[in-house]
């Protein structure tokens, strides 16, 4: 079957969200899942691209607009995610065809780089030229992690009142890297809308702010979603861990 590829219409989006219910559901209720996805500012920001055959969406993905800082320039970049093919159409190369189409679409409007979020083996997408990137993933057990420097504390603050400091802190921490996500003023504003319940904490050492962390309250396990401290060295991360452990000691949170 030959597919036609296009930027999703509203009905295409609805069908794409219906298709992923069994894989990435936003609610156990089918209708609520679709409505939550449609209302999500995160998903509204993306261009959804689809492959359609026989009047139904066979394969879909989301292309999120970002910029990467490269050699002091903000380079237009596409972050591709939510790649999904309906079960009866898998193994036919539809995802690859849609990704090829999406990359051509993005290139035509000035996008230079494509990054991919994937939950399958990276070897599949390496055939398309994608290279595996390192990513931090870990767990802090509050009860069994020793604090090495008790002069480090976390102090909660509101992002809106500290936006300039947070932006400068982020840029300073990442400036030595070959590439990192460029965060404009709009992007920081977007984070406050996308994740309004995230909490921001300054890492304070001997009365001086040395960085910040952004975390999500999930009860006994909090999620560390963002960290900018120093130059992101191993020692800098150790300081962040000391502050986190000290903050949550004797609290209901057991893991971060």
Over the stretch 107-129, which tens digit does the pLDDT of each residue have?
999 999 999 988 777 777 788 88
pLDDT at residue 71 in the model? 83
Q: How far apart are CA 145 and CA 17, in angstroms?
A: 41
Per-residue pLDDT of the chain (256 residues; tens, 9 = 90+): 899 999 999 999 999 999 999 999 999 999 999 999 999 999 999 999 999 998 899 999 999 999 999 988 999 999 999 999 999 999 999 999 999 999 999 999 999 999 998 877 777 778 888 888 877 788 999 999 999 988 899 999 999 899 999 999 999 999 999 999 999 988 998 988 999 999 999 999 988 999 999 999 999 999 999 999 999 999 999 999 999 999 999 899 999 9
pLDDT, tens only, 214-246? 999 999 999 999 999 999 999 999 999 999 999
Residue boundaries of the structural domains of the chain:
4-126, 152-248
Superfamily of domain 4-126: Gcn5-related N-acetyltransferase (GNAT) (3.40.630.30)
Q: Residue 23, by phi and psi: left (phi above 0), alpha (psi -120 to 50) or beta?
A: alpha
Q: How far apart are CA 30 and CA 18, in angstroms?
A: 8
Fold agreement between 4-126 and 152-248: yes
Domain at 152-248, CATH class: alpha beta
The pTM (predicted TM-score) of the whole model is: 0.88
- How many residues are present in the chain? 256
Those residues whose C-beta lies under 8 Å from the C-beta of residue 195, and which sit 6 or more positions away, are 216, 225
**Neighbouring C-beta atoms of residue 13, cutoff 10 Å:** 21
pLDDT at residue 90 in the model? 92
């Amino acid at each position: 079957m030959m597919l036609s590829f296009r930027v999703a219409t509203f009905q295409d989006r609805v069908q794409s969200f219906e298709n992923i219910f069994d894989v990435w559901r936003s609610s156990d209720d089918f209708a609520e899942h679709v409505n939550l996805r449609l209302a999500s500012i995160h998903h509204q920001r993306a261009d959804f691209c689809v492959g359609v055959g026989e009047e139904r969406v066979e394969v879909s993905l989301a292309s999120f607009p970002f910029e990467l800082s490269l050699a002091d320039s903000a380079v237009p970049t596409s972050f591709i995610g939510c790649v999904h093919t309906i079960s009866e159409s898998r193994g036919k190369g539809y995802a690859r065809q849609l990704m090829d189409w999406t990359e051509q679409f993005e290139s035509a409007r000035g996008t230079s780089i494509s990054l991919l979020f994937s939950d399958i083996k990276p070897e599949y997408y390496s055939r398309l030229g994608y290279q595996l990137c390192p990513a931090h993933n870990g767990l802090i057990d509050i009860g069994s992690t020793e604090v090495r420097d008790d002069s480090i504390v976390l102090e909660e603050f509101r992002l809106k009142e500290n936006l300039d400091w947070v932006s400068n802190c982020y840029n300073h921490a990442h400036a030595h890297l070959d590439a990192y996500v460029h965060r404009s003023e709009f992007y920081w504003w977007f984070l406050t809308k996308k994740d309004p319940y995230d909490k921001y904490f300054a890492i304070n050492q001997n009365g001086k702010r040395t960085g910040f962390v952004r975390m999500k309250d999930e009860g006994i396990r909090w999620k560390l979603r963002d960290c900018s401290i120093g130059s992101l060295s191993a020692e800098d991360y150790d300081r962040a861990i000391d502050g986190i452990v000290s903050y949550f000691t004797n609290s209901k949170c057991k893991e971060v």
